[in-house]
């Protein structure tokens, strides 16, 4: 029960921090667009997308730090954990320099790829320069975020994330109301990320590891341990960018930069669900690695069955409510000029009805080291996504790109990964359905019915009332689900886990 309390505590910290971050980003989107226009904001999204592509240079090392720190601490081997941290920091310093050079060089050639108005070229170039300078500091800092994850200190991670988001929101208001522009906003955003990682270093170095960091540190045997795991995560992240981030490039190339902003509405909502999914699932990864270090395989299986049931009970109704409220939400949030964003947003959100069911199981497979098979499935999904998006964008525009992303996720990735979960964790499909899915189906139906009834009863005319109505529907569904769709033993277990 102690481990369950730790996991539930970490999920709560994650939920609070990511909820605040999402709310701030949600408010900033229309605020910034209204001050800089669709063209500049679309350019900003392209710069951030390109920077996101450089995330593949991580080579999966952040996840390896989390896994091996958790696993070695579970085994009581702090010295091996320290070697992983030393090697990772040295690796990231090199990667930071490489990323900075790539961004700087690309800043002189981006207009050969993207359709950009001449008046905005200088601004976009400066955005790339800011991202290049920040890379020198942000990459090394990733090491210590991984350390906090490995030690399962999500409380400290939450404080860091909230502080950064609040400061970003405050300074965004000051910057744009004073007409300083997007370059200032990006500069201060990166500064707050650097400060966040500095705090993670201080906490990880002096409060958790309590040992001197060795730099530089390039030991072949340590890097062999890291990359035997991380290389397949790197490849998965590489093709994962095709699934989640190439959409902006396809739209920018075959439509226009301003259309990227229209698509960005749905993508932001989808990204919000990805964030919620991750905040619920990320604490399970170091917990699963810790169990692997202790050879507690039966507890991993128990975590799969109960974790999936509780997670989907909370997550899937939220997806359904958002899909049904999407038209009202988007028009009240962004205005009538974004009507074209509604159906693509609903399509993008829809695959989370399936993906969330995989979160606990796929996290456990990663914690156990089964990353090669996951990579193969993700690679196949990415190829299908790219092909469909390129075909459908010519006929249906941003809706075609949304379909190109969603269809392979539901029809290919979902069944293949689910099969591997059953096989590796030794759970039968019948057992999984009966213990993790069956009773939740009634909750999903209830979420759909109450959403339609609420919309027929009252349609608010501003975003705050819309969110409030969605919140009332969702809270009602969860309360009814808790009372009537969980056993008395499960209710006691949930109450114990959520108890402060």
pLDDT tens digits, 437-460: 998 999 999 999 999 999 999 899
The most confident of the ranges 81-90, 292-301, 338-347, 412-421 is 412-421
Q: Is residue 67 part of a domain?
A: yes
pLDDT surpassing 60 at residue 92: yes
11 within 8 A of 280, measured Cβ to Cβ: yes
Residue 76: other Cβ atoms inside 10 A: 9
- Report the mean per-residue pLDDT for the chain: 85
pTM of the model: 0.72
* DSSP string for 100-158: HHHHHHHTTTGGGTS---GGGHHHHHHHHHHHHHHHHHHHHHHHHHHHHHHTT-HHHHH
Q: Is residue 95 part of a domain?
A: yes
* Residue 458 and residue 322 share a domain: yes
Confidence (pLDDT) at 441: 95
Q: Is residue 17 part of a domain?
A: yes
Specify the DSSP element, H or E, that contains 4. helix 2-53
- Closest to 81 (Cα-Cα) out of 62, 66, 101: 66
Q: Select from 209, 244, 279 the last residue of a domain.
A: 244
* Residue 147 and residue 38 share a domain: yes
Q: How many structural domains are present in the chain?
A: 2
Q: Is residue 190 part of a domain?
A: yes
pLDDT surpassing 60 at residue 119: yes
* Residue 371 and residue 333 share a domain: yes
Q: Is residue 250 part of a domain?
A: no
* Residue 263 and residue 192 share a domain: no
Q: What is the DSSP letter of 256?
A: -
Q: Select from 215, 244, 273 the last residue of a domain.
A: 244
Phi, psi of 397 (to 5 degrees): 65, -135
Q: Is residue 251 part of a domain?
A: no
Collapsing DSSP states into helix, strand and coil, what is residue 8? helix
* Residue 85 and residue 58 share a domain: yes
* Residue 311 and residue 210 share a domain: no
* Residue 423 and residue 288 share a domain: yes
Residue 83: other Cβ atoms inside 10 A: 21
Which residues, in sequence order, are CB contacts of 182 under 8 Å at separation 6+? 32, 36, 40, 41, 44, 123, 127
pLDDT digits (tens, 9 = 90+) for 129-144: 998 999 999 999 989 8
Confidence (pLDDT) at 423: 93
* Structural domain containing residue 358: 256-500
* Residue 275 and residue 215 share a domain: no
350 within 8 A of 406, measured Cβ to Cβ: yes
* Residue 62 and residue 84 share a domain: yes
> Which residue do the tokens 């409060």 mark?
207
Q: Is residue 249 part of a domain?
A: no
* Residue 408 and residue 280 share a domain: yes
Q: Is residue 282 part of a domain?
A: yes
Q: Select from 244, 272, 297 the last residue of a domain.
A: 244
- Closest to 402 (Cα-Cα) out of 392, 413, 410: 392
Which residues, in sequence order, are CB contacts of 30 under 8 Å at separation 6+? 333, 334, 335
pLDDT surpassing 80 at residue 190: yes
* Residue 84 and residue 12 share a domain: yes
* Residue 275 and residue 146 share a domain: no
Cα dihedral 484/487/490/492 (nearest 10):
80
């Amino acid at each position: 029960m102690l481990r369950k309390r730790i996991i539930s505590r970490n999920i709560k910290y994650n939920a609070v921090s990511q909820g605040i971050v999402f709310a701030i980003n949600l408010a900033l989107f229309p605020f910034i667009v209204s001050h800089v226009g669709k063209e500049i904001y679309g350019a900003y999204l392209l710069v951030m997308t390109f920077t996101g592509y450089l995330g593949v240079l991580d080579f999966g090392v952040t996840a390896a730090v989390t896994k091996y720190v958790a696993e070695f601490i579970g085994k009581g081997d702090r010295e091996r954990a320290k070697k992983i941290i030393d090697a990772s920091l040295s690796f990231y310093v090199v990667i930071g320099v490489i990323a900075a050079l790539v961004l700087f060089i690309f800043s002189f050639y981006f207009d050969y790829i993207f359709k950009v108005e001449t008046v905005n070229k200088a601004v976009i170039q400066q955005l790339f320069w800011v991202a290049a300078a920040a890379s020198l500091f942000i990459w090394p800092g990733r090491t210590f975020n991984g350390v906090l994850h490995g030690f399962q200190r999500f409380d400290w991670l939450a404080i860091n994330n909230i502080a950064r988001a609040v400061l970003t929101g405050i300074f965004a208001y000051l910057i744009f109301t004073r007409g300083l522009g997007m370059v200032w906003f990006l500069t201060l955003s990166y500064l707050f990320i650097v400060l966040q990682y500095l705090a993670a270093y201080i906490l990880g170095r002096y409060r958790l590891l309590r040992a001197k960091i060795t730099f530089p540190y390039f030991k072949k045997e340590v890097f062999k341990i890291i990359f035997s795991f991380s290389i397949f995560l790197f490849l998965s992240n590489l093709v994962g960018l095709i699934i989640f981030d190439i959409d902006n490039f396809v739209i920018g190339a075959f439509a226009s930069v301003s259309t990227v902003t229209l698509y960005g509405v749905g993508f932001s909502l989808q990204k919000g669900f990805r964030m919620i999914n991750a905040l619920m699932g990320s604490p399970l990864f170091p917990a699963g690695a810790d169990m692997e270090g202790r050879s507690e395989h039966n507890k991993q299986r128990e975590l799969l069955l109960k974790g999936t049931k509780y997670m989907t009970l909370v997550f899937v109704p939220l997806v359904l409510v958002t899909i049904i409220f999407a038209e009202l939400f988007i028009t009240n949030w962004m205005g009538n000029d974004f009507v074209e964003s509604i159906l693509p947003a609903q399509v993008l959100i829809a695959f989370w009805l399936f993906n969330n069911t995989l979160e606990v199981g796929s996290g456990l497979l990663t914690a156990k080291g089964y990353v090669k098979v996951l990579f193969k499935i993700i690679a196949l999904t990415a190829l299908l996504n790219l092909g469909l998006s390129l075909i459908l964008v010519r006929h249906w525009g941003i809706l075609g790109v949304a379909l190109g992303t969603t269809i392979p996720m539901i029809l290919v990735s979902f069944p293949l990964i689910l099969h591997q979960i059953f096989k590796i964790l030794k759970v039968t499909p019948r057992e999984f359905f009966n213990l993790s899915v069956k009773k939740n189906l009634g909750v999903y139906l209830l979420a759909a019915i109450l959403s339609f009834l609420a919309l027929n009863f009252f349609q608010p005319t501003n975003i705050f009332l819309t969110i409030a109505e969605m919140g009332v529907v969702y809270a009602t569904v969860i309360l009814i689900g808790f009372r009537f769709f969980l056993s008395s033993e499960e209710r006691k277990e949930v109450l114990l886990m959520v108890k402060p």
